[in-house]
Chain A
């Protein structure tokens, strides 16, 4: 796209581009954009899409074992929604001139990332509640903010996705509430799920702003609208109240209301664990990727058959015309 531009023209374009961003104009697929903007978006959007798709696994793990038919139907619909989100996001990423096959290939090669939270196992039914409440809750904080992202197709995708996410969070919270008000065993199950998913949920917002490689440029281009730490704070503040209502305890001894800041202070995240989990060392990292690769490989003959059938049909049609 930029091949034939002189340095001077390129600089001019970039200035104009930044002016459009500053004026809150949306960038559309056919508009000129700096190559780095495009790359940055592909990275972020594909990471987002892969997270939706990989996230189907830990929750899918409980579809066949859901405790009631009503919960089963809700969970199945919820996991299906997440797959749908993946689909929108892949399509939105494709408007940047990259194919879904390429995106999936970089997931499988390990060069593209997905949210590290999905590398934790779902060990009890309460984990389904914890994921809906916390993981979808954290995702909403992020995605509400991303509704104002500068790239048009991404922004519109987020608007659509956010509508479904709040239903996801409600159903998760409702599972937790039911357990917390249930038998001693159920309450313990809920608390245990919260203990295991709380810190990984905070990690979903990424490194501290000061340590985030892509953050500054992403904010300038308004790909991101709020910083990792701002969003994390918002999430902590809202979760404290929600936990209080159902009388579960957030597993952080340093959690305390700070009058001066008007926010809750909270303890430091174990960044070593975060790094491990992001780089293939989470408890289920290898399993999640292997599962996705297996499904893709098992489906290869189906996709091939579909292509072969379509091309035979086209040939037959062409022959009929000729």
Chain B
């Protein structure tokens, strides 16, 4: 179910990022370390689900057929999902969830800030809403990096482990393929390759403040944008898409 319009394809990627991470965050519901944090995680999940709906909605509009946001979310298989791999990794423990969130938040703030000046007015408007949310998410996730890094021996150990496990999934956030290069050339898409130096500086500063050591950069995995996913995504989709697959074509 690929779609020809490049802007639509781009919007679907961004929607996939938001939906898949929102799904992972929503898995925390009723499982948070305390009630306030449980609610805060659901809140962030809700922001992402909302973001996914806006991007899918726009993609559907551009595609010009009668597809809806739900067709994009529920009726495509792994190979057609274009989210970055870091979003689909299982939620892990609280340190893993927060470390991922932090690494993604630093990226999102810069990304959405840039996308706000996209020549595509709709993408720019969605980014305007998203950047406010991501700024708030980042304040929270950065605080948790400091707390867990500077808390107890156990929290420090868990956070270091999480950062080590995530590190090789971060370079993918700055890769550009032909679609994005061409759209960036027209001022529609964000040139993510340019965001890397600032991301690196900021993340390293936070890791230092949280007494974390910087992981060895000797591995890296990517392929999400081309639909080459981890095995985790298929299981996520079988959960996410269960209803639409078991009872196709109905109103809910």
Residues of A within 8 A of B (CB): 53, 56-57, 60, 63-73, 76-77, 79-80, 83-84, 86-87, 90, 125, 175, 178-179, 182-183, 185-186, 291-292, 294-295, 298-306, 308-309, 312
Contact = CB atoms under 8 A, between A and B. Distances in A.
A179 B155 CA distance: 47
A83 B94 CA distance: 19
A87 B30 contact: no
Please provide the 7 A-B residue pairs with the shortest distance between their CB atoms, ordered closest to farther.
A299-B33, A305-B151, A305-B155, A67-B243, A302-B33, A67-B252, A56-B30
Contacts of B27: 64
B147 A305 contact: yes
Interface of A is mostly: helix
A60 B45 CA distance: 13
A87 B36 CA distance: 8
B27 to A, nearest CB: 6
Interface stretch (B1-9, B50-58, B111-119, B195-203): B50-58
Interface in B235-252: 239-240, 242-244, 247, 250-252
Given A64-B23, A76-B42, A69 B29 contact: no
B164 interface: no
Contacts of A56: 29-30, 38
Contacts of A65: 239-240, 242-243
Interface residues of B, number: 48
A299 B152 contact: no
Interface string B138-160: 00000000111011101100100
B49 A178 contact: no
B6 to A, nearest CB: 23
Nearest to B148: A305
B73 interface: yes
Nearest to A61: B30
A288 to B, nearest CB: 10
Contacts of B26: 63-64, 72, 76
Contacts of A306: 147, 151
A63 B29 contact: yes
28 contacts: A56-B29, A63-B26, A64-B27, A68-B70, A68-B252, A69-B49, A69-B53, A69-B56, A72-B49, A73-B49, A87-B36, A125-B243, A178-B251, A182-B250, A183-B247, A186-B247, A295-B32, A298-B94, A299-B33, A299-B37, A299-B94, A302-B37, A302-B94, A302-B155, A303-B33, A305-B155, A308-B151, A308-B152
A70 to B, nearest CB: 8
Interface in B1-48: 19, 23, 26-27, 29-39, 42-43, 45-46
Contacts of A57: 30
A291 B28 CA distance: 12
B39 to A, nearest CB: 5
A309 B147 contact: yes
Contact of A301 (B36, B158, B240, B251): B158
B150 A309 contact: yes
A190 B27 CA distance: 25
